[in-house]
Structure 1
Amino acid sequence: MKIPKYRSPHPGFTLVELLTVIAIIGILAMLVIATVGRVRQQANRVTCASNLRQIGIAMQLYMNDRKDGRFPGPLYRNQKSSTEGGDGQLASPVRLLPYMSGQIVERNGIKYALLLECPAWKKVIGADDKLSDFSSYYVNANAEKHDGEKCDLFGYKTDGTNPLTLQDLASPSRTWALVDLDTGIKPGATYSIDQIAHGNTRNYLFADGHVAASKTKL
């Protein structure tokens, strides 16, 4: 008597079907990763813009507290988040630090102003102990005055040039004050990151306090 072969009522997947499923899962995973990456990049850009707006508010408060109404300075053109860079830095106790209450953190004995730390910039640098070696923002060294002269908006610490006032500017709403720093802004600078922190877009804080993003260098 010949015993019939057992056939499962639920046949398994063929190799082709398995490979097809794996390929589909891989494609879906790549789409999810790409979407998450774009969302994270957008979130970092929004946080950076929010930080710049708060810096703009601190800057305005600083100017209101001074009889001459000048911008903070004179400053160095590259701005660090470390509070130990002297009065040539916005994070200095005699510049904007008093107006950044609750936005200070200490790492390895060094204090940092969080508003001067773009999250995308921090991600590029990596380790926290390297933050003091890099500058996060760059100030405008070519602000245009009413007479057409172009000079440092915040003055220049190296030669003692004084900062300007809002009234000195030809157009405060078109004059940027701070920008995300990379070597595209300052070629060859060893204290800046090589890539644009936000992919292909930089955030700008303008002299009148508003913030805008631009894919081109202003």
Structure 2
Amino acid sequence: MVELLTVIAIIGILAAILGGVVSGVREQQEKVVCAQNMRQLGTAILLHANEHQGRFPLTMHNVSDEEESWVYTLSPYLEDVDAVRVCPADPQAEERLEQGLSSYALNEFVFVPALDQLGRPLGGSYDSVFKLDDPARTQLAYIISDQKPLSAYSDHTHSRGWKNWSRVVADIQPNRFSRGESAANGLGGSANYLFADGHVELVDADDFKSQFSGGRNPADPTQTYR
């Protein structure tokens, strides 16, 4: 009986270790696939800009027809838009695919022109590659927050209003890659970020939050993340 209990205990320990290894491998694979998706989207955004006098595609903030939003207008520049518009770690990935949505949200600073009440351009608009002073440090896209509704209108952030951390996590998921269930406060993990030169960085959620603690909004091209 003692030997049997010992064997059972050893099997339990090995199962726990194996489960942790499998979970870690799966998380790493999801990070890699997500980064590949974002890089392809970044390439498509730059190709679109190249054919439209440097201007970036539009979001549902500026158009009324879903087929005019960036998820659809980038399709001609991608081999298979459905293969890259959803993050494999997104718990609502299947629903987004079915509804033609994306796991990624574009940076309001870049993709939503700042206008006054009469529709006239204001300062602080960066909707063209020619308006970016530091593309390698300018954030283009994020992994969408679990708090955002499944809606075409969730295709962009409201990063001009990121005055505190709660507004950030209402828009994006800074801890998309974390062991177990993601903490509601957006910490305890990491996420991929797409930059305007086309590269993708994996950033720790705590490091991202520290930017706000220092009084900086890393989504703002004039206050770039470093």
Change (3 A) 1:71 1:38: same
Question: How high is the TM-score relative to the length of structure 1?
Answer: 0.66
Structure richer in helix, relative to its length = 2
What SS does the corresponding residue of 1:118 show, helix, strand or coil?
Answer: coil
Measure the CA separation in 2 of the matches of 1:137 and 1:47.
13
1:178 counterpart residue number: 141
Contact 1:70 1:163 in 2 (8 A): no
Gaps of 5+ in 2: 148-165, 179-188, 209-217, 219-226
Q: Percent identity?
A: 34
Q: How many residues align?
A: 169
2:182 counterpart residue number: none
Tell me the amino acid that sits aligned with residue 128 of structure 2. T
Asked if residue 119 in structure 1 is aligned to residue 88 in structure 2, the reply is yes
Measure the CA separation in 1 of the matches of 2:133 and 2:56.
15
Aligned to 2:60, which of 76, 95, 98? 76
Tell me the amino acid that sits aligned with residue 199 of structure 2. H
Aligned to 1:51, which of 37, 44, 51? 37
Measure the CA separation in 2 of the matches of 1:164 and 1:129.
26
1:138 CA displacement? 1.8
What SS does the corresponding residue of 1:178 show, helix, strand or coil?
Answer: strand
Tell me the amino acid that sits aligned with residue 72 of structure 1. P
2:176 counterpart residue number: 197
Question: How high is the TM-score relative to the length of structure 2?
Answer: 0.64
Measure the CA separation in 1 of the matches of 2:137 and 2:110.
13
Deviations 1:26-50 (A, max 9, x none): 0001100110011001001100000
What SS does the corresponding residue of 1:153 show, helix, strand or coil?
Answer: helix
Asked if residue 90 in structure 1 is aligned to residue 79 in structure 2, the reply is no
Measure the CA separation in 2 of the matches of 1:154 and 1:115.
19
> Which of these two proteins has the greater Rg computed from alpha carbons?
1
Aligned to 1:168, which of 98, 122, 131? 131
C-alpha RMSD over aligned residues: 3.0
Tell me the amino acid that sits aligned with residue 92 of structure 2. I
1:185 CA displacement? 6.6
